[in-house]
Amino acid sequence: MVADPIDHGGFGMMDSPDGVHFKPIKAPEIRADFRIPTLEIGGIKKFGQKYYLLGGNVTHYGFSGYGVYTYVADSPTGPFRPDLEAYRLTGTSGIDGNYYVHVLACFVKDSPEDLVSDPFTFRSTAGTDGQGTWLLPMRKAIVDSQGHLRLAYWPKNDVVKGKEIRVDTAENAVAFPPGQTPANPIVTLAGSNDHLVFDTDKSWRPFPWLEADKTRKAIAVINQRFDLDAGLIMEGQIHAKALLQANGDARKSYAGFFIEGLERGSGTGILLEIGEPQWRASHIGRIQTDVSFRFESLDATGRGSATVTGLDDSKDHSFRLWLRSGKMELYIDELLMQSFFYLKATGRIGFISQESEVTFSKLRFYSMNL
């Protein structure tokens, strides 16, 4: 139950012999080294010998946006402890004035599979094509070998896949950096009908906006336009190699996705950091390009999150990217990375490299049949 116990934050509990008549009982203890706020409860479920409870609120554990957090106990009456290594099950890091992008995620009662339902709202989000509140695709609740609750792709979501769209990714263009010409390429592109490989030169060309000490970034877009109001699913593999040394370099390597915005030189980017899972953090935000590359992070996924924080260096990863009417959802290796919004878009989709060599392969595109 949602409750505000007098002696501590957290949640309340009631007891019932018949599911009709209830009486309040002592609130379960939560053992943590920090204050737990009053929690909205998304249910409790037993996996193996442990009980996992979902609780949500805003402005908690360094995340100003609404988040849902995982608490674990040996008994349904506690004591519960926050699972700090995978504490934030879902939610956003927070935007000033827009705390509610995700809302309370809940276990689905009486389902034969372990599913989690999660609403998503546009009520405070301007600049997108999204309106109202949605129910996101169902997620499958899993517990990994270390005992952490995570959200995975539910295969029955494939029912939304409509007709496959034929796309030749060899038909592409460099959106950044400027100055690219066939005779003097700054970004090297190689593509066929189902893969795209791109890389930046080891040193920038002598343009005034491409100084050698700046981080090398590149955006390539597919020339084809998709109907994002109807919905698009893009699937494939991503292999990213960091060009920087792991130690001793303050600059970071990323690979990711780009949704071209209606405003010239704008868009929404997903930057997946390449590196060790314990330390890396990935970002979603606004990109503005003219003679420079400006990125404004709106959401970060890093330490303390149960969702995917980035990519392993020089390893193959599968991905699923869902786009529809202002909302995106990304899975890496069948695990949820993030659900977020994107700015009003032209319908062109692209790929991002920062200090990395990236291959996107086995690309498939599907319309949604909602």
Tens-digit pLDDT profile for residues 103-132: 999 999 989 999 999 999 998 888 898 889
- One domain for residues 207 and 74: no
The rounded mean pLDDT for the chain is: 90
- One domain for residues 206 and 114: no
Residue 5 falls inside a structural domain: no
- One domain for residues 284 and 149: no
pLDDT of 23 strictly over 80: yes
- One domain for residues 147 and 175: no
* pTM as predicted: 0.93
- One domain for residues 202 and 122: no
Tens-digit pLDDT profile for residues 57-68: 999 999 999 999
CATH of the domain at 199: 2.60.120.560
Residue 39 falls inside a structural domain: yes
- Which of 98, 124, 153 is where one domain is finished? 153
Which residues form the domain of 122? 13-153
Q: Would you place residue 4 in the very low, low, confident or very high pLDDT band (cuts 50, 70, 90)?
A: low
Residue 7 falls inside a structural domain: no
pLDDT of 334 strictly over 70: yes
- One domain for residues 165 and 147: no
**Secondary structure, 3-state, the chain:** CCCCCCCCCECCEEECCCCCCCEEECCCCECCCCCCCECEEEEEEEECCEEEEEEEECCECCECCCEEEEEEECCCCCCEEECHHHCEEEECCCECCECCCECCCEECCCCCCCEEECEEECCCCCCCCCCCEEECCCEEEEECCCCCEEEEECHHHHHHEEEEECCCCCCEEEEECCCCECCECCEEEEECCCCEEEEECCCCCCCCCCCCCCCCEEEEEECCCCCCCCCEEEEEEEEEEECCCCCCCCCCCEEEEEEEECCCCEEEEEEEEECCCCCCCEEEEEEEECCCEEEEEEEEECCCECCCCEECCCCEEEEEEEEECCEEEEEECCEEEEEEECCCEEEEEEEEEECEEEEEEEEEEEEECC
- One domain for residues 253 and 114: no
